Amino acid sequence: MYKLKELLMLTDKGYSDLKKAIAACTITNLSLMMPFAVTIQIFAELLKPLMGQEITWIRMWFLLGCGVIAAILVFLASKNDYKKTYVTSYLEAENSRISVAERIRKLPMSFFNSKDLSELTTNIMADCSTTEHVLSHIIPQLSANAISITIVCIMMAVFDWRMALAVFITVPFALLIILCSKKIQARLSEKQVEAKLKASDQVQEYLEGIKVIKACGLDGSKFSALDNALHLMMKLAMKMEVVTGSFVTGAQMILQAGVGLTVFVGTYLLTKGKIELIPLLMFFVIVVRIYGPVLVEFTLLPELFYHRIATKRMRTLMSAPVMEGDIQKPLTHWNIDFKNVSFGYNGRDMQEDTVIKNLTVSIPSDAITALVGPSGCGKSTISRLIARFWDVNEGSVKIGGVDIKTLDPEHLMSYMSFVFQDVVLFNDTVYNNIRIGNMEATKEQVLEAAKAACCDEFIRALPDGYQTMLGENGSTLSGGERQRISIARALLKNAPIVLLDEATASLDPENEALIQQAISSLIEGKTVIVIAHRLRTVAGADKIIVLNEGRLVEEGTHEELMNNRGLYERLYRIQQESLGWSV
């Protein structure tokens, strides 16, 4: 049984609930035998005239009374069974969804580089639903049926072992067919799951890229890729049904042969005078009744095989190593030091993919530091390393002298605010989207942050003001408005380190002025790291770090770097010249 807990990836509570559910289901199954036993007794009573005996009416009334009591007991057992199986399985599935989401939150970004979104969605939604289904509809019924079938088998064998043998002899053969099909079904299930993932990937890509698809006239080719993926999914689903159906039907046929066998053996024994008519008739009734639960077992088993694939995927996710570091030590200084840092998105083994190369640089506290350099030189990567979205492969990043690898990632995050160019807004109210910055903030604080980020005016003009729903990723707002909401969020967080990545790059001058004003409130008295392409926007920074191909090439103030006449001066000059261009 312990293996079952591992196999189904259950929590301790889930496992103990499953045991209760199996017990409840077994009780229901056994209680269902009571009306059946009463029916057989009534049946035997009714057949008495055939044997030249009289019906005992007192006994008949007694049996009817027993029937009513049995029906009440069945009702109570089913009610208990329902509560124990369904309610607890839904709770367990909810728990496993939460633990998967929690795990995902703790995984390093490198994990997400190798996984796509639809696979993770499948992990959280479909795999947990499979667990839900297996816990509510499969395991308790399967176990309870197996227990009650065994009890009936033993009882029948005690009564007449020859007849019991005739009834049950076909069961192992039919079961063998189901077990033999396990490998084929598992292979097909895996293919089917892959096809489903591919199809949901295609649907997602099609919907996300619908603008580009239309603009570039890709409807035909992109749609045929989607069409093919959906067609493959349908084909595999049908194949799966046909294969599963064939095995189950084959097993059913063999099992049903037991009815004929029982009649044959029974008639033989009757003619030889080795069995009475009434017990024989009882066996005939039982053989029809008992094959029902056995058939249910055969249809449930393939579903259990399928569940193993879902748990395999969940197991991979749950065993992926989380980010190291659990120190919650409060940080008091905000100077950031990179020492001999090397980093590549594909890990330390892929030397040719190294993005940051042996970088040693300091970012002073309570000052504005700009990261500049040609596109792809690693500016954003450095900001990701500071936030520990990724861990360095070599060297160290220290904040206030503490190696951030030793810190709990969530604790570290509490010291940082971000403003990125692509703002993520949630399908929630404007108010809640700002409050995400600090869930403990009061209403006044939220409004104050919105005002400081120049959002208040446009938010009040929205149909429901702060309570306006934003739609998916705030699609109803302009780029500048979205950006200001993200600044309000960062302001509310009031973290000592602020990372700004190209925050004003794609905005018109009016919006840019508003955002500059919002940013000024945000960065006041903070350790600020700005990533900028347009060098004139960072000319006033306290320190400018110039990178090229992942290496530090220059550092200093704007004046110092201009005097150096190096890469910075060259990039600055080119940008100034381009300002004079017109289209």
Ligand X SMILES: Nc1ncnc2c1ncn2[C@@H]1O[C@H](COP(=O)(O)OP(=O)(O)OP(=O)(O)O)[C@@H](O)[C@H]1O
For the chain, how many residues are written?
583
The interface region with ligand X, picked from 20-28, 375-383, 453-461, 488-496 by CB under 6 A, is: 375-383
DSSP 470: -
Q: Is 126 left (phi over 0), alpha (psi -120 to 50) or beta?
A: alpha
Span near ligand X by CB under 6 A; candidates 16-24, 129-137, 378-386, 393-401:
378-386
Q: What is 47-79 written as a DSSP string? A: TGGGGT----HHHHHHHHHHHHHHHHHHHHHHH
Non-local (6+) Cβ contacts of 413 within 8 A are 387, 388
Minimum CB distance to ligand X smaller for 355 or for 370: 355
Among residues 97, 379, 493, 526, the one that binds ligand X under rule CB under 6 A = 379
- Applying CB under 6 A, which of residues 14, 302, 378, 496 lies at the interface with ligand X? 378
Part of the chain binding ligand X (CB under 6 A), chosen from 83-91, 92-100, 335-343, 376-384: 376-384
Closest approach, Cβ 420 to ligand X, in A, equals 11
| Stretch of residues binding ligand X (CB under 6 A), selected from 17-25, 157-165, 373-381, 407-415 | 373-381
Q: Please, which residues have CB within 8 angstroms of residue 370's CB and are 6 or more apart in sequence?
A: 529, 530, 531, 532, 538, 541, 543, 544, 545
Considering only residues 342-361, where is the footprint of ligand X by CB under 6 A?
345, 355
CB of 561 to ligand X, least distance (A): 17
Strand order in the sheet with 336-344: 354-363, 336-344, 394-399, 402-403
User: CA–CA separation, 263 vs 65, rounded Å?
Assistant: 32
The CB-of-500 to ligand X minimum distance in angstroms stands at 13
> CB of 559 within 8 A of CB of 571?
no
Instruction: Figure out which of the listed residues 377, 447, 455, 528 binds ligand X, where binding follows CB under 6 A.
Output: 377
CA 465 to CA 431: how far, in whole Å?
9
Query: Which one of residues 172, 376, 401, 540 is an interface residue with ligand X (CB under 6 A)?
Result: 376
Residue selected from 114, 319, 375, 578 as contacting ligand X according to rule CB under 6 A: 375
CA–CA–CA angle 517, 518, 520 (5° rounding): 65
Among the listed ranges 79-87, 372-380, 456-464, 476-484, the one in contact with ligand X (CB under 6 A) is 372-380
Part in contact with ligand X (CB under 6 A); list of ranges 45-53, 76-84, 227-235, 370-378: 370-378
* Window 18 to 47, contacts with ligand X (CB under 6 A): none
Single-letter residue type at 128: C
Q: Which stretch binds ligand X (CB under 6 A): 163-171, 274-282, 371-379, 443-451?
A: 371-379
- Residue 116: C-alpha distances to residues 19, 104, 159, 222 (Å): 36, 13, 60, 19
Stretch that binds ligand X, among 95-103, 273-281, 369-377, 562-570 (CB under 6 A): 369-377
CB closer to ligand X, 137 vs 534: 534
If one asks whether residue 113 binds ligand X (CB under 6 A), the answer comes out as yes
Least distance in Å: CB of 200 to ligand X?
Answer: 22
Tell me whether residue 376 or residue 401 sits nearer to ligand X (CB atom): 376
Please count the CA atoms within 13 angstroms of the CA of 422 that sit on its side-chain side: 2
- The piece of 67-75, 165-173, 374-382, 470-478 that touches ligand X (CB under 6 A) is 374-382
Q: Considering only CA atoms, which of 299, 191, 306, 202 is closest in space to residue 237?
A: 191
Complex with ligand X: residue 156 or 355, whichever CB lies closer = 355
x/- site string to ligand X, residues 56 to 95, per CB under 6 A? Answer: ----------------------------------------
CB of 347 to ligand X, least distance (A): 11
Phi, psi of 500 (to 5 degrees): -115, 120
Least Å from the CB of residue 499 to ligand X: 12
Q: Which is nearer to ligand X, 115 or 312 (CB)?
A: 115
User: Token pair of 578, please?
Assistant: 């381009």
Least separation in angstroms between residue 535's CB and ligand X is 12
What character string, x for contact with ligand X (CB under 6 A) and - otherwise, covers 381-410? x-----------------------------
Choose between 50 and 350: whose C-beta lies nearer to ligand X: 350
DSSP state of 327: B
The span from the CA of 69 to the CA of 79, in Å, is: 15
Q: Are 125 and 44 in contact (CB under 8 A)?
A: no
How many residues touch ligand X under the rule CB under 6 A: the total is 10
Pick from 433, 442, 441, 444: which is nearest to 489 by CA? 433
Q: Shortest gap between Cβ of 113 and ligand X (angstroms)?
A: 5
Locate 525 and state its tokens. Answer: 């008295």
Joined tokens for residue 248:
């189950």
* Distance of closest approach, residue 211 Cβ to ligand X, in angstroms: 22
114 binds ligand X (CB under 6 A): no
Tell me the C-alpha to C-alpha distance, in Å, between residue 544 and each of 26, 175, 231, 552, 565.
Answer: 73, 74, 55, 11, 14
Binding mask 273-292 for ligand X (x = CB under 6 A): --------------------
One of 380, 486, 504, 511 touching ligand X (CB under 6 A): 380
Question: C-beta of 350: minimal distance to ligand X in Å?
Answer: 10
313 binds ligand X (CB under 6 A): no
Q: Which two tokens stand for residue 451?
A: 């005002």
In the bound state with ligand X, the residue whose beta carbon lies nearer, of 36 and 345, is 345
DSSP string, 502-532: STTTT--HHHHHHHHHHHHHHHTTSEEEEE-
Q: Are 46 and 55 in contact (CB under 8 A)?
A: yes
In angstroms, give the least distance from the CB of 344 to ligand X. 8
Q: Which H helix or E strand runs over 148?
A: helix 139-159
User: What angle (nearest 5°) sits at the alpha carbon of residue 478, between those of residues 472 and 482?
Assistant: 65
* Nearer of residues 136 and 383 to ligand X, judged by Cβ: 383
How many Å apart are CA 549 and CA 170, to the nearest integer? 73
Binding site for ligand X (CB under 6 A): 113, 345, 355, 375-381
